[in-house]
Amino acid sequence: MAEVETSETILFFPSRLHEDHPRRETLRLSHLDADRNLEVPVRTVRFYAGRKDYNAAQQFDDITGALSVALSCYYPLAGALKRGRPDDRLAVHCQAGQGVPVVRASSRRTQAYFSDLLSSAVDSLAPGPEISEMLEHPLTLQVTFFTCGGYSLGMCVHHCLCDGAGATLFLSAVAEIARGASEMSTRPVWARDKLLGPRQLPRVEVDFSPFLRTKGRISDPYGGGTFAREYFHVSDEGLERLRAQMQGAPESPTFTSFEAVVAFIWRSRVRASEVVPDTKVKLVFSMDVRRLLRPCLPTGYWGNGCVPVYAQTTAGELSGRPQMETAELIRRSKRGVTAEYVQSFIDFQELHYADGITVGENSCGFTDWRHLDHSSVDFGTGGPTSVLPLSFKLLGCLDLCFLLPYPSVGGVKKGGFRALVSISADALPAFREEMKSLAET
């Protein structure tokens, strides 16, 4: 018997038509949303402890009832994605009668059984529609109940509609209503093509050519490849030891945990993969620019608010030079992200979208989920004990690493954090050896 059994899929509609929601309209996406590398599903699962005085039926009704209310303002999530002319970009087509599918499921297992697995079992806790199906329903949810009384919320959303912060903002609104609020405290903001659109005369002041390729229409910028996935513990002691080693002289800069760990993992992956020394290798990570722009993006803006940031060197230089220099390379890349960088990236998308834009080979991707406001997604039984990403096609890379907080057990969080790494199976044994020093206490 399957680990997870689905009982039904129900379509939930906005509880009322919001005043901003005409009977029929087409909403344009921003040029950050329309990045071809974001034409992928983002699948996540959030685990909850549940409450003894709440049965499964009550919890399901609370979540789905709140979903219907929230969709009155977040109605584009119930829309359909269609390509427009002449550039073939996606847009959201909204009309009355559209809804969001919610799968109801159960498992004979306890929540603890799934919380650290990387298998088809945990993968079955979130919907997995084909990308073609997601054009009709860009958001699908799944609520799964466990024998221990806990439950999980699986989510599959088309990346062009939101990033991790945007998805959290939406789910926080649903959770706020589920806890009894009459309306959400933060009103969602669209206006995407106006807030993050190209200049009237697009111009690219930042040179992206070392990092991005434009060569003909590319239906799948990710290509093929088979990768293994594994969790790696990063202890507080291991992190501080690494940062101290990178600091060098007393007057040297102190690197952030992100700069230090990413520099270490990037080098370790390239070493373990035995990349030829003179091969160019790239690092790409996402950086939130919501507060960088002037004016800042509105608090309720829930579209993609991150830009990709790049660093490049050769495999030989990365493996042979002090890690402090790699951390400094990452720091310089971060500091190079200005308002002009963001606008140039948007204009680059405007000028080259039809060409097909990819990151290319030998690229490692990193995304940091440690500081997303996961605790705000509380449906009345407490915030999630754990949040896991299930997708590995992000940032134009398959060779991806998530930095994740540890699950909360009884309100107490374990020290350190986890790195969830996707890497070729052949390189995994050597990479494990490289990572041991970060786990030591």
Q: What is the pLDDT of residues 275-334, one digit of tens each?
A: 999 999 999 999 999 999 999 999 999 999 999 999 999 999 999 999 999 999 999 999
Q: In what order do the strands lie in the sheet with 5-12?
A: 5-12, 100-106, 139-145, 151-158, 41-48, 386-389
Residue 314, token pair as written in the block: 């050769």
Q: What is the pLDDT of residues 222-268, one digit of tens each?
A: 555 678 899 999 999 999 999 988 876 566 678 999 999 999 999 99
Q: What is the pLDDT of residues 143-192, one digit of tens each?
A: 999 998 999 999 999 999 999 999 999 999 999 999 999 889 999 999 99
Q: Give the integer Cα–Cα distance in Å for 290 and 157.
A: 21
CATH topology of domain 213-439: Chloramphenicol Acetyltransferase (3.30.559)
Domain 5-195 has CATH 3.30.559.10: yes
Whole-model pTM: value is 0.93
Q: Hunting for tokens 């080979």 — which residue is that?
A: 361
CATH topology identical between 5-195 and 213-439: yes
Where do the structural domains in the chain lie, given as residue ranges? 5-195, 213-439
- Sign of the dihedral defined by the CA atoms of residues 68, 76, 369, 424, in that order: positive
